[in-house]
């Protein structure tokens, strides 16, 4: 298993707003993606506001422990996505995200259980095919990244965490394994809010209990990984479809139980499963 490296966090300044894991696995060709994903998430989630200046190249190099070449390529990708602009001799600044009428999914689109189910249905269509492509195109590096996400998921279970970051990371690595950057770009855009338990307390109310619930989720991930490792496209598609469909059906069953109990006047356990209110958007 690849060793992990702990990064120290700066005490003050703009660097505090960079969202990165305290422990990250170094991947030779994945460093640009790590920097882009972290900075893009910070911008889209409002931790870095329009007009705010990003840390200098040197500061980002230290923060992420990467080369200047990686930093510059990362900033170029952010510019191509219209997230930042570089003013020569001054620095790189966050751009305002304008509503152009294009497709988007925001926190407000996860306001109810039905909303979460709708996004799962979209994911079933996209990620099923992504898994098939990943089985055809994955590299040894991709497999190691997926393995690391599986191990991180188990580590999170062991320390009583909800395992959301490694859950999302696994799906991100599948998207990257397609070799088609649009799959990874879409996952980056959606972020961790696509994981149902970021919006709904599924682990607390799972019939089999929190631990068994999370173990089953990671077991489903392992089935996807094994199919991709074996380069079996059909098995990879089937495993991904099963995994996401299981999530959807668990939500549907819980919602139906809630409806029946509410009509009978019984306080349902599902009440705490209602989608959490989305955060108030910053202006």
- Domain ranges within the chain, ordered by starting residue: 21-94, 107-273
Question: How many whole angstroms from its chain centre is CA 233?
Answer: 23
CA nearest 58: which of 47, 70, 50, 43?
A: 70
Question: What is the CATH architecture of 107-273?
Answer: Up-down Bundle (1.20)
- State how far the Cα of 40 lies from the Cα of 124, in Å rounded to an integer: 24
- Cα distances (Å, whole numbers) of residue 210 to 61, 269, 283: 39, 14, 37
Q: Are 109 and 119 in contact (CB under 8 A)?
A: yes
Question: What is the CATH architecture of 21-94?
Answer: Orthogonal Bundle (1.10)
21-94 and 107-273: identical CATH topology: no
What confidence tens digit (pLDDT) does each residue in 96-121 have?
A: 876 555 666 766 666 688 888 888 99
- For residue 7, the model assigns a pLDDT of 40
Q: Are 231 and 138 in contact (CB under 8 A)?
A: yes
Strand partners for 24: 5
Report the percent of the chain where pLDDT is more than 90: 40
- State how far the Cα of 77 lies from the Cα of 141, in Å rounded to an integer: 22
Q: Span 203-216, mean pLDDT?
A: 73
Both tokens of residue 30?
């994945």
- State how far the Cα of 123 lies from the Cα of 43, in Å rounded to an integer: 23
Report the percent of the chain where pLDDT is more than 70: 70
What confidence tens digit (pLDDT) does each residue in 243-255 have?
A: 999 988 888 876 6
Longest dimension (CA), the chain: 68
pTM to 2 decimal places: 0.58
């Amino acid at each position: 298993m690849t060793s992990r490296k702990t990064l120290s966090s700066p005490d003050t300044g703009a660097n505090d707003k960079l969202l990165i894991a305290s422990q990250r696995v170094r991947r030779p060709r994945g460093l640009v993606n790590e920097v882009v994903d972290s900075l893009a998430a910070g911008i889209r989630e409002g931790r870095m506001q329009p007009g705010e200046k990003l840390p200098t190249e040197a500061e980002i190099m230290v923060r992420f422990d990467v080369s200047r070449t990686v930093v510059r390529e990362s900033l170029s990708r952010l510019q191509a996505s219209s997230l930042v602009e570089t003013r020569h001799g001054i620095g790189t600044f966050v751009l305002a995200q304008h509503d152009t009428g294009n497709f988007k999914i925001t926190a407000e689109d996860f306001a109810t259980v039905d909303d979460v189910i709708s996004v799962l249905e979209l994911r079933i269509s996209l990620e099923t095919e992504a898994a098939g492509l990943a089985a055809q195109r994955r590299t040894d590096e991709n497999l190691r990244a997926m393995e690391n996400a599986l191990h991180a998921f188990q580590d999170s279970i062991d320390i009583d965490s909800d395992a959301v970051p490694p859950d999302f990371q696994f799906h991100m690595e599948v998207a990257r394994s397609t070799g088609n950057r649009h799959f990874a770009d879409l996952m980056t855009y959606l972020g961790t809010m696509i994981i149902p338990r970021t919006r709904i307390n599924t682990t607390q109310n799972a019939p089999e209990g929190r631990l068994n619930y999370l173990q089953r989720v990671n077991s489903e991930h392992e089935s996807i990984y094994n199919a991709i490792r074996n380069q079996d496209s059909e098995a990879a598609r089937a495993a991904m479809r099963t995994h996401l469909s299981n999530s959807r059906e668990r939500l549907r069953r819980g919602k139906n139980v809630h409806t029946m109990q509410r009509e009978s006047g019984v306080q349902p356990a599902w009440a705490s499963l209602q989608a959490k209110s989305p955060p108030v958007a910053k202006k």
